Chains A and B, each alone.
Chain A
Amino acid sequence: MTVAWIGDRDALVQDAVGHAARLLAESWCPVISIDADVDGTRAAIALAGRVGAAYDHFDGESLARETALVSDSGGIFVSAGEVRRRADLVVVVGALPEFHHDYLRTLAETAPDLAERRTRDFFLVPDRGNDPPPAALDGQVTRLACDGADLPATLAVVRAQVGGRPVTTPVTNFERLCDALAKANYAAFLCSGHGTHHLALEMLQGLVSDLNRKTRAAMLMLPESEAGWGGTLVSGWTTGFPMRTGFAQGAAEHDPWRFDVRRMLGAGEADVHLWVAAREDSAPAHANGSTLIALTKTAEPVAEAAVTIPVGAPGADHDAVLYSSSRSTFVGRTAGAPSQLPSAASILKAIMEELPVKMDTRC
C-alpha cells in the first residue's frame, strides 16, 4: 500500500487515515481548506459535516470577492464561449491571473463569428496607471487610465463619463472608447477576483447595467482559481451555501468572515487543519499552533504536518471532474498520466469510515 507519514515516520495509509480520523474526532474546532476536484470537494464537505468543521478554499480571499459579487448584488454575465463568438469589444479590467492569458490570446487571434462586425476592439483598465498590458494583447489594446486613481476610482470615472456626467479628471482615450461602444454589438468586460477590489467589481457591474439600457454588454468573470470556483459551486448544491461555511452548530452556517479558514488559523481559533491540495505547488496556511493533516501530491512528509497522505492530482493521476473557465462549467478530464496514487475523495471517505459514530453519508 502507498506510504504515508505520521509526523516524519513512514506509515501505512490505513494507519495514517486512522490517525487523521482520531485527530479530527477529538478536535474542538477543526477546519478544512480545500483545493480539489468535484468528488474531493464533495467528500471534504461531507467530512466537515461529520466532524463539525468549517471549510474554505485554501486561498479563499479572491474567491470570496468573486462570490460576494454574486451574493451581494448579482449582475449581468456572459460565458467565455459566447465572448469568443460574439464580443466585438473586449475590455480587460484589472490584472487577470496568468493562466487566463491563453484565453486572451485566443480572443486576440480570432474574430467573433456571431457578430455583425468580424473584428474585435480591445481596451484595458489597468490596476494601476502604468501597469503593462498582458503580453497576449500587446499592441492591440487601448488603455483607459485616470491619473493617480486606483481601479475602483478609474471605473467610477469611466462609468460617469459613459453616463454623460462631468468629471474633473477624465480617463485617457475616452473618445476611442465611445467610438468603440457606438460600433459594438456586444461588449464584454473581463475581470477576476484576483487582486481586484470588491468595489471595483461592483462598479463594473454598474457600468455594465448602464450600458444595457441601450445596447448589450456583460461581464465575464475569470476566476482566480478554477478549483476554487468549482468548489464554491459544489458547496452551493451540497449545503446551499458557498465556501466559508461551517458545521459547528450541527447544521450548515455561512459566514464569509467567521469561516475564513486562513483567518481562523491565523487567530489561533482552529486546533486541527485538514489541508486538501490538488496543486503540487501550494503550501498550507500558517498553522499558529494547529495540528496539520496534509492531503497533497508529495513524495515526502509535509513540514510540520502531524499526518501526510499523498494523493493524486485530479485530471493527471486520476480521472476527475473539474471546473473549466474556458467552458464556464464543469468538464470531465481523463487522467493524463494515470498513477496508483489514491484520489483525495477516496482518502476523505476512508477517514469518514474511521470516525467513531457511523451515520448516513450525505455526499
Chain B
Amino acid sequence: MLIRVAGGEIIDPVNGRNGIGDLWVEDGVIVDPPPGAQPDRTVDATGCIVMAGAIDIHSHIGGGNVNTARLLLPEHHFAHLPRPGATPLSNLGWSTFQTGCLYARMGFTTVVEPAMPPGTALHTHLELADIPIIDKATLAVLGNDDFLLSLIRDRASSEMIEDYVAWTVASTRALGVKTINAGGAAAFKENVRTFSLDDVVPSYGVSSRSIVKTLQAAVTSLGVPHPLHVHCNNLGVPGSADTAAATMEAAEGVPLHLAHLQFYGYGKEGKRRFSSAASRLAELVNSTPEITIDVGQVMFGQTVTISMDVLRQYPARKNAHPKKSFIIDGDGESAGIVPYRYRKDFYGSLQWAAGLELFLLIDDPWRVFFTTDHPNGAPFTAYPALFALLMDREARRRTAENLSKPALALTTLPTIDREYTFEEIAIMTRAAPARLLGLKDRGHLGQGAIADIAVYRKDRDIEKMFAAAAYVFKDGEMVVEEGEITALRWGKTLRIAPEPDKAMLRRMESYHQERYGLSLDWFVFPDWAIDREEPFGEVPCIA
C-alpha cells in the first residue's frame, strides 16, 4: 500500500529536512515520492510536526526485576485503572500490554530495556515479546559474574574475554553490554558496603576500573555498535560527581556511555552537604567527545526504583515508600527494588534541577539522551511534561516556584534560558539514539528507513502535544490515531549476533556443569521458547 503523509512540518535532521512537505510510505518503508503515483491512502498532517518514531535507549520495561516490582506493589497497579488520569499513581503502566500501548501513544516506536541479567535472559525476552507495537532491545549485564572476574584476575587473554562477552551477548540475544557498579554486587556478597572505581572485589583482587576497562575494550574490539553502557559506582551519594568524572576520564578516548548521569550530579556544598554538580559534569561531557550520557531525569511523585546496583539499593531500603523492598543476590548479578516518592523538598528539588541542568548545559544534542531511567527517576509517562520543561523556560520557572529555594540556589538552573528546538528534540530522541545503537534503519525519515513515524498536532501546550500523537506508524502500519491505539501488532527484539569461538562454548558447558551441576541448556534458551513469529531482528556489528 502506498501512503502519503501530506502537508506536515517534517523534521528530519539526518536528511536535512526541516519544513512543510510530504512523506511517502510503501510496504513498511519510507520511499522517495513516486513520480505520478496516486497514494492508496492520504493522511492529512497539516498543522502537524512529523518526526521519525522516537527511540528510548534506557527504560526498564521488562524482565525479572521489573516483574518483581509488579508483585511487590500490586496496590500501585490497582490504582492504575479505576482512577482518573490526573491523580497520583495513575500512570505507572505496569503490564507489558500497557507498556507498549502507552509508549506508542507518545510516538515512541523502539525502546531499550537496559539491564538484562544473562542468567534470566529468557524471562526478559518472554516479557519483551509480550510488549505490543514497539520494537525492543536489551543490554546484557556483565561485571559481577565469577567467570569474568576470574578471567580478569587470572590475566586471561583479551581474545578469551572477547569470546566470553560474545558468547554472553549472542546467547542472551542482546544488543549490547552494560556494566552496573562493576564489581559492586560481587563485593556486596562478600559483605562490602561501599565500592568506588578503584576498590577491589576482595576474593578476586580486581578493581571496578579494571572491569570497566576490560569490558570497554572487549565491546569495542567485537564491533558492538553501542559503546559499553556504564552505570557508575556511588550512585546517589553526595560527591558522586567525582566518581562520574573519574569514569569519564577513564574512557581514554574510546566511546563510553554513562547512564542516568543525573544520579551522579551531586556535590557536597551547602549546609546539608548535598548540592548540584551537574554544571561541572556537563562541562566535562562537553569537553570529552567520546562520552555520551543519558540523564535519568527526576519528576515528582510516586515511583519505584528498580536497579541491579544492589549496593545502592540495600541502604536505600530505609527511605522506601511504602515501607517495603526486595533485595536479591542472584547468579552473578543482583538487584534491589525499592519504591520511592520524589517530594518537592530540598532533595527532590535539587535532583529535579540537576537533571535539567545536564539537559540544558550539554551543548551537543547528539550526546545527551532523553530518559527518566524509567521508572527510577519517573515513569516514562512523564515524558510529555519533561519535553515541556526542556522546550519552555516559562514551564520551568512555573514549576520552580513551588520547589525548595535553598535547593535551587545550589544549582545553576535559574540562570539558564536555553529552550530546546524541535530539531534538537528530533536529534536527541530519534537520530542520536539510532546512531548510538547502530540502528541505521530508523531514527530518520530518509528513503529506505522503516516507516516508524510520529505525527504530533502542533499545540502551544507542549505537554499535551507530546502526550498523544495525532498519528503513529510502525513499519508503515498506522497504530495510533488521535491518541488512541487503532491496531495491535508484535514488534521485534533487536539483537546482535557476534560469533564466539567454539572452544568458549565447550568451556561454558564445563563451567556450568561443574559449578552449578546443571547442563548449559539450563542457562541458555532455544528460539522456540519465544512464542512469536520472528521474535528477533538482527543488527550487524561494525566490521
Contact = CB atoms under 8 A, between A and B. Distances in A.
Given A72-B324, A79-B329, A242-B74, A185 B515 contact: no
Contacts of A234: 126
Interface in B139-171: 146
Interface stretch (B91-99, B232-240, B247-255, B278-286): B91-99
A233 B67 contact: yes
A233 B119 CA distance: 16
Interface stretch (B10-18, B397-405, B526-534): B526-534
Contacts of B73: 71
A87 to B, nearest CB: 10
A154 interface: no
B527 to A, nearest CB: 9
Given A78-B329, A240-B95, A329-B119, A363 B77 contact: no
Contacts of A82: 189, 329-331
A237 B67 contact: yes
B528 A240 contact: no
B70 interface: yes
A158 to B, nearest CB: 21
Contacts of A163: none
B435 interface: no
A241 interface: yes
B525 interface: yes
Given A215-B191, A331-B522, A81 B122 contact: no
A363 B132 CA distance: 10
B203 interface: yes
B199 interface: no
B72 A70 contact: yes
A101 interface: no
Contact of A39 (B71, B119, B330, B531): B531
Interface string A74-91: 111111011011100000
B81 A332 contact: no
B422 interface: no
A74 to B, nearest CB: 4
A119 interface: no
Interface stretch (A2-10, A131-139, A171-179, A247-255): A247-255
A247 to B, nearest CB: 11
B529 A73 contact: no
Contacts of A218: 327-329
Given A82-B329, A329-B119, A332-B122, A110 B517 contact: yes
Given A74-B337, A332-B122, A232 B517 contact: no
Interface residue tally of chain B, by bracket? 35 or more
Nearest to B188: A216
A67 interface: yes
Contacts of B528: 319, 332
Contacts of A329: 64, 119-120, 122-123
Contacts of A110: 517
A238 B130 contact: yes
A327 B326 contact: no
B184 interface: no
Given A238-B130, A332-B525, A77 B326 contact: yes
Given A85-B515, A236-B67, A330 B123 contact: yes
B325 interface: yes
B509 interface: no
A324 interface: yes
Contacts of A161: none
Contacts of A42: 130
Contact of B324 (A73, A79, A216, A237): A73
B488 A240 contact: no
Nearest to B117: A329
Contacts of A76: 327-329
B71 A79 contact: no
Contact of A77 (B190, B329, B517): B329
B424 interface: no
Contacts of A98: none
B120 to A, nearest CB: 4
A335 B531 CA distance: 16
A303 to B, nearest CB: 33
Contacts, number: 158
A237 B127 CA distance: 7
A81 B331 contact: yes
Contacts of A27: none
Nearest to B78: A254
Interface in A201-244: 212, 215-216, 218, 232-234, 236-242
A238 B96 contact: yes
A359 to B, nearest CB: 10
Contact of B191 (A185, A232, A252): A185
Nearest to B330: A79
Interface in B183-224: 188-191, 203
B72 A71 contact: yes
Contacts of B203: 114, 116
B80 interface: yes
Nearest to A84: B516
Most chain B CB inside 10 Å of its own CB: which residue of A82, A84, A334: A82
Interface string A186-206: 100000000000000000000
Nearest to B67: A236
A248 B188 CA distance: 46
Interface string B55-88: 0000000101011101111100110111000000
Nearest to A251: B81
A212 B329 CA distance: 13
A85 B123 contact: no
B146 A252 contact: no
Nearest to A234: B126
Contacts of B505: none
Contacts of B66: 237
Nearest to B525: A332
B62 A237 contact: yes
A360 B190 contact: no
Most chain B CB inside 10 Å of its own CB: which residue of A77, A218, A240: A240
A210 B119 CA distance: 29
B124 to A, nearest CB: 10
B130 A237 contact: yes
Contact of A81 (B119, B127, B325): B119
B518 interface: yes
A116 to B, nearest CB: 8
A281 to B, nearest CB: 25
Interface of A: 38-39, 42, 67, 70-79, 81-82, 84-86, 106, 110, 113-114, 116, 185-186, 212, 215-216, 218, 232-234, 236-242, 251-254, 319, 321, 324, 326-332, 334, 345, 360, 362-363
Q: 4 closest A-B pairs (Cβ-Cβ)?
A: A240-B94, A240-B77, A332-B529, A74-B326
10 contacts: A70-B71, A70-B326, A74-B72, A79-B329, A85-B146, A233-B64, A237-B127, A252-B95, A319-B529, A326-B518
Given A237-B95, A241-B78, A331-B522, 6 more contacts: A74-B325, A79-B331, A216-B329, A251-B81, A330-B122, A332-B525
